[in-house]
Amino acid sequence: MVLYGDPLTFKNNEEGFTSLLKWIKNLQKPKNLNQAIIGLEPTGHYWINLSKWLLQQNIEVVTVNPHLVKRNKENRDNTQSKSDKKDALVIADMVKNGYYSEVRYTSESFEKLRVLMSNRDVVVKRLVSSVNQLNRWVDIVFPELRQVFKNITAKGAIATLRLFPTPMELATKQPHDIITGWKSLMKRQPGLKKAQLLLQVAKNSIGSRQALDAYKFHLEQLLEEYDLAVIQLERVEKQVTDVLNKIPYAKRLCYQSEEGQGYGDSFT
Q: Which domains does the chain have, with CATH numbers?
A: 14-105 (no CATH), 109-267 (1.10.287.4070)
pLDDT in tens, 193-237: 999 999 999 999 999 999 999 999 999 999 999 999 999 999 999
pLDDT for 108 equals 87
Calpha distance 97→239 (Å, rounded)? 40
Cα four-point dihedral sign 173, 177, 179, 185: negative
State the pLDDT at residue 32. 92
Task: Please give the pLDDT value at position 260.
Answer: 47
Structure confidence at residue 146 (pLDDT): 95
Low-confidence residues in the chain, pLDDT < 70: 1, 75-83, 249-268
How far, in Å, are 124, 186, 222, 236, 238 from residue 231 at the CA level? 11, 17, 14, 9, 11
pTM: predicted TM-score of the whole model, two decimal places: 0.77
Task: Determine the pLDDT at residue 4.
Answer: 78
Q: How far is CA 108 from CA 73, 114, 220, 253, 268, in A?
A: 36, 10, 40, 17, 15
